[in-house]
Amino acid sequence: MSPAATWQADLDRLQTRSLIVGLIGLAACAAGAFFNLDQFFRSYLIAFLFWGGLSMGCISALMMYHAAGGNWGFVSRRLLESATRMMPFVLVMLIPILFGLHSLYSWTLPAVVAKNEVIQRKSLYLNLPFFFARLVVYFIVWFTLTYFLNRWSAEQDRTADPTLKSRMKTISCPGLVIHGFMVTFLVIDLVMSLQVEWFSTIFGMIFLVGQMLSALSMVVLMLLLLGRYEPLASRLQSKHFHDIGNLMLAFVILFAYLSYSQFLLIWSANLPTENPWYIRRLFNGWGLVAWIVLLFHFAIPFVLLLLRFIKKRGELLALVAAGMIIVRNIELYWTVEPAFHPNAVYFHWLDIAAPIGVGGIWLALFAWQLKARPLLPLHDDRIPIEDQY
């Protein structure tokens, strides 16, 4: 069996198992929707925010590599590119949320809007025609960025044209800024407007950083899976894991800094339009979930990622990455569910079934995309010439 066939066989197994798990999870979601449609939409929103956010985080990471370079990006580039090509699936993932708008968002209900002066003052932004128009703009931008980055990458493999690297850098530098705005406004539309009276100017950045953490965690796990096979086996080194671990540490710190800054500013201001968001998430049992997020999204990974021996060993870093993926879902659950259940912690089995179901399909399609191209980029002159193949 050739080296390519070996790693592709591993991806075949991942694709098959993920597809089975995903179909079972989605079947469970369909059953859950039959009995509790409102809860299905809430749980599905959590799943969309994580798996859709994972693809968006990979867009950020890919453009960061093209803009700044780095050894970590060479071994990760194909993984990131494959995840960015999942954006059409992310658009399909959005469809159930569109059917659940009236269940999720009070600003879509005319009877509620008529009685709420705050929503009325925000109606110039929060109205369905403008909402759908914004979604079209978001996905046009994401499709454009991912199309050119993947097209030029494939062309680089075929032609070794040295100008393609500068093209990818040229689109990535402004693309990072534009992408940041798109994610910010998407988060305003899908998450912040769950509690329409509340607002925060830092909210979108918190999601951007969380998406990067999800993307880097996925990269670590996939490198560990595929690093046993050529062409990765002879090129993947501890320094690559170390670099990714350092990036994870930086984004863990940034996530905590932004989250604490948002909390400090809102809590100290003590405004009735802002404090209720945290009151719902810090009392009536939700504070315990907040402590879990604080410990496992910041304190524990912060300590672990300070240790060089963990960042240099793929197996140990993968444990941190797997934990980060789990706690990212818990953090999204803590962000979404209290908007509907402020008086007590509420957990429904769909909060697990929906992320598993959507994630299974996402992973199956991701593996299919990853098999379509060489596992490492060809003719990338950002590595020493002797390391190219």
pLDDT of 385 above 60: no
Q: Are 211 and 51 in contact (CB under 8 A)?
A: no
Looking at the whole model, is its pTM more than 0.85?
A: yes
Q: Determine, yes or no, domain membership for 356.
A: yes
Domain tally for the chain? 1
pLDDT of 382 above 80: no
Q: How sure is the predictor about 133, in pLDDT bands with cuts at 50, 70 and 90?
A: very high
Q: Determine, yes or no, domain membership for 69.
A: yes
- What residues make up the domain containing 255? 7-377
- Position 383 scores a pLDDT of 62
How many CB atoms are located within 10 Å of the residue 247 CB? Answer: 22
Q: What is the pLDDT of residues 212-255, one digit of tens each?
A: 999 999 999 999 999 888 888 888 899 999 999 999 999 999 99
Residue 285 φ/ψ region, left for φ over 0, alpha for ψ in the -120 to 50 degree band, beta for the rest: left
Q: Determine, yes or no, domain membership for 157.
A: yes
- Position 384 scores a pLDDT of 47
- Position 274 scores a pLDDT of 85
Give the residue carrying structure tokens 């990853």.
370
Q: How sure is the predictor about 81, in pLDDT bands with cuts at 50, 70 and 90?
A: very high
Q: Are 19 and 360 in contact (CB under 8 A)?
A: yes
Q: Determine, yes or no, domain membership for 370.
A: yes
Q: What is the mean pLDDT of the chain?
A: 93
Rounded to 5°, the CA angle 320-323-324 comes to 85
Q: Determine, yes or no, domain membership for 231.
A: yes
- Position 128 scores a pLDDT of 96
Q: Determine, yes or no, domain membership for 388.
A: no
The Cα–Cα gap between 146 and 86 comes to: 9
pLDDT of 288 above 70: yes
Region of poorest pLDDT, from 48-52, 95-99, 265-269, 300-304: 265-269
Q: Determine, yes or no, domain membership for 83.
A: yes
Q: What is the pLDDT of residues 321-370, one digit of tens each?
A: 999 999 999 999 999 999 999 999 999 999 999 999 999 999 999 999 99
Q: Determine, yes or no, domain membership for 266.
A: yes
